[in-house]
């Protein structure tokens, strides 16, 4: 594999499993030194680091509560101290929760927006202030923003917010040569979609011409392109990564 990220430093939030783990491994495989962020599952994050190191890559696991700005800022300060250069930020940490609008409670709303939206905003604030020139920010949104699925009002709203943040950040961070894009994955397995009903799973499979669910690696490969210098002329874009579902 081409080492096109050699000498780069990358921070992947929510890097202990699923899409985040696949992204961390792919960026490390491309030569980046990766900070594998985790919220509570230290063992899973260390497993990702072990896999990366076994493959000859560089990675360090670091904890931070992305729901709290002071904890998030402390995490970024420690991550920057560990990296020789801070060039790539992948805002992957997220939570999905479903409920009809009539059943949504405040605690549920606050948790989803704290992790899916507030954390993205303040992580990009750190990128604006501290990332090296010509860096790359990749936000993980969701293809649910294109499909109005009942029961996903809060999650969908949070990912619409991520898309809005991407638009504005692309203009504000662009002054420092930093690109900002988001990926919108469809159903991925293993991942959040594992709890979906059999009928929902069958529908997702039938919706793509490839007749399968996505994998974390499908998303990670797309992210690796956006994290590289090859994507230098792409910013403010929302890229569906769902196998052409419902085209």
Question: Where in the sequence numbering do the catalytic residues fall?
Answer: 155
Pairing assessment for the beta strands 88-91 and 136-140 based on DSSP bridges: parallel
3-state DSSP assignment of residue 102: helix
Dist CA 80 CA 236 (whole Å): 25
Burial class (CB within 10 angstroms; exposed 0-12, middle 13-18, buried 19+) of 80: middle
Dist CA 169 CA 111 (whole Å): 23
Asked whether 185 and 167 are in contact (CB, 8 A), the reply is no
Q: What are the Cα distances from residue 221, in Å, to 28, 183, 231?
A: 12, 11, 13
Q: What are the Cα distances from residue 69, in Å, to 10, 37, 114, 123, 151?
A: 20, 15, 10, 9, 29
Asked whether 89 and 138 are in contact (CB, 8 A), the reply is yes
Burial class (CB within 10 angstroms; exposed 0-12, middle 13-18, buried 19+) of 183: buried
């Amino acid at each position: 594999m081409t080492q096109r990220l050699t000498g780069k430093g990358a921070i992947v939030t929510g890097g202990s499993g699923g899409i985040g783990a696949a992204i961390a491994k792919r960026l490390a495989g491309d030569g980046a030194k990766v900070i594998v962020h985790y919220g509570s599952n230290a063992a899973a994050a260390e497993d990702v680091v072990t896999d990366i190191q076994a493959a000859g890559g560089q990675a360090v696991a670091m904890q931070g509560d992305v729901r709290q700005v002071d904890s998030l800022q402390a995490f970024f300060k420690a991550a920057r101290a560990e990296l020789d250069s801070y060039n790539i930020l992948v805002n992957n940490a997220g939570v999905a929760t479903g409920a009809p609008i009539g059943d949504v409670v405040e605690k549920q709303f606050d948790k989803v927006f704290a992790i899916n939206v507030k954390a993205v905003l303040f992580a990009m604030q750190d990128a604006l202030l501290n990332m090296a020139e010509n860096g790359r920010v990749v936000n993980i949104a969701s293809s649910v923003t294109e499909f109005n699925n009942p029961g996903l009002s809060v999650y969908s709203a949070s990912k619409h917010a991520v898309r809005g943040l991407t638009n504005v950040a692309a203009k504000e961070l662009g002054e420092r040569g930093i690109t900002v894009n988001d990926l919108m994955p469809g159903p991925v397995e293993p991942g959040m979609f594992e709890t979906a009903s059999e009928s929902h799973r069958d529908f997702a499979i039938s919706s793509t011409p490839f007749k399968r669910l996505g994998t974390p690696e499908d998303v990670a490969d797309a992210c690796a392109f956006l994290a590289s210098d090859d994507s230098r002329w792409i910013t403010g874009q929302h890229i569906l990564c769902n196998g052409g579902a419902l085209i």
